[in-house]
Amino acid sequence: MTEQLFPDDIANGLVDGTLPAAAVPASLHDVADVLRAAHQAVTEDELKGMAALMQRFTAEVAVESPPATIHRSSPMFNARIPRRVAAMVAVTLLAAGTAAAASSGGAFSSSASSRFEDVVLLEGSTTTEVVEEESTTTTTEAPDETTTTETPDDETATTEASDSDEGEREDSHLYGKCTAFTNGTAKNLQNPAFSELQDEADAAGISVDDYCAMVIDTHRADDDASGDADDDASGHADDDASDDADDDASDHADDDASDHADDDASDHADDDASDNGSDHAGNSNSNSNGNGNGHGNGHGKNG
């Protein structure tokens, strides 16, 4: 037995409420009345609480929408500009101070020059001539005893080997990274921060653990051997190293590892120049140490 259906236009017209009353079949008059009633507009009573719902919805839409035309790197770039400006100001002030000291026959030209060199080096835009020129003014000091495995044909490495400040800085830099590596829970040697340790250990033909143990032992031996005059500087460097390591570790833990890989050099250079440049003017070793250590630690936890 086949089912008898209404014509589609009548059924749809009834349901849509568009069928004229005259066209409604007699058997469907009551149905048409009910459907017409159902088409009546919504009353105020039915819409109680609508304002609150609408406010919640629009707020949620605003929150859920993507930040228009803002890329991940833009805020970092913008944040970096003031740092660069601060770094340039710091360099200018230091240069002016150096010049003033030199003109007045001051005795701290060596350390001031190295300070200038530190800042310029970390800025990442220096030429080799600047480094060499500065290094010639500081060769009177004793060469660094700590292990440096950089090749002699590297001009910068040669300069660093003959520069006590540079050597100490390198020492503390490696010490910081080794401390971070040794203390870190996640020892990921793929992390760019630790790749330097891997390179150094490979060059020495030992494991990174052994290499770091050696660096840490050497550093502590240096600290023990140094006198009261040195305590200030090295102690400050160590403190900075560990303190900044903790700070940086927590700061960098939330950041993207890839962002760090791209921006490490310039960011830390800027940070050093602007943040530490003036604060640690009296301690030549402190600038890069803390950041090197902290950076390594942070990445270690990330990895």
Partner 1 sequence: MDDLTFGGVMVAAKAGDQRAAELLFLELHPQLVRFLRVSEPRMADDLAGEVWLAVARGLRAFDGDLAGFRAWVFSIARRRVADHRRTAMRRATDPVDEDFFRDRPVADDTAGQSLAHLSAQVALDLIARSLPVDQAEVLTLRIVADLDVAHVATVMGHTSNWVRVTQHRALRHLATVLAKGPAEEILDDRVIPTRARTI
Q: Determine the residue type at 230.
A: D
* Closer residue to partner 1, CB minimum distance, 6 or 108: 6
- φ, ψ dihedrals at 95, nearest 5°: -65, -40
Contact pick of 35, 86, 93, 101 for partner 1 (by CB under 8 A):
35
Rounded to a whole number of angstroms, the minimum distance from the CB of residue 54 to partner 1 is 5
Instruction: Give residue 147's Cα distance to chain centre.
Output: 29
Nearer to partner 1, 56 or 220 (CB): 56
Question: Which residue, 36 or 187, has its beta carbon nearer to partner 1?
Answer: 36
Instruction: Identify which range of 40-48, 113-121, 191-199, 231-239 contacts partner 1 by CB under 8 A.
Output: 40-48
If one asks whether residue 70 binds partner 1 (CB under 8 A), the answer comes out as no
Q: Which structure tokens are listed for 192?
A: 């760019």
Query: Which DSSP string corresponds to 226-284?
Result: S-HHHHHHHHHHHHHHHHHHHHHHHHHHTS-HHHHHHHHHHHHHHHIIIIITTTTTT-T
Q: How many residues bind partner 1 (CB under 8 A)?
A: 43
From the list 45-53, 76-84, 147-155, 240-248, the region that binds partner 1 by CB under 8 A is: 45-53
Closest CA to 291 of 264, 263, 253: 264
Please provide the size of the chain in residues: 303
CB 121 within 8 A of CB 272: no
Is 62 a binder of partner 1 (CB under 8 A)? yes
Binds partner 1 (CB under 8 A): choice among 18, 23, 57, 221:
57
Q: How far apart are CA 193 and CA 235, in angstroms?
A: 24
Nearest distance in Å: CB 42, partner 1: 4
Q: Contacting partner 1 (CB under 8 A), which of 9, 18, 23, 53?
A: 53
| Per-residue contact string for residues 200-239; x = within reach of partner 1 by CB under 8 A | ----------------------------------------
User: Could you tell me the two tokens for 137?
Assistant: 């003014």
Q: Does 58 bind partner 1 (CB under 8 A)?
A: yes
Q: Which residues of 40-53 are buried (b: 16+ CB within 10 A; e: fewer)?
A: eeeeeeeeeeeeee
String of contacts with partner 1 for each residue 1-30, x by CB under 8 A: --x-xx-x--xx-xxxx---------xx-x
Q: What is the distance of C-alpha 39 from the center of its chain?
A: 60
How does DSSP assign 86-103, residue by residue? HHHHHHHHHHHHHHHHHH
List the one residue from 1, 2, 20, 64 that touches partner 1 (CB under 8 A).
Answer: 64
Q: Which of 56, 81, 128, 210 binds partner 1 (CB under 8 A)?
A: 56
Q: State the nearest-atom distance from the C-beta of 33 to partner 1, in Å.
A: 4
**Are the beta carbons of 172 and 236 closer than 8 angstroms?**
no
Q: Residues in the site for partner 1, rule: CB under 8 A?
A: 3, 5-6, 8, 11-12, 14-17, 27-28, 30-31, 33-43, 46-50, 53-54, 56-62, 64-66, 68
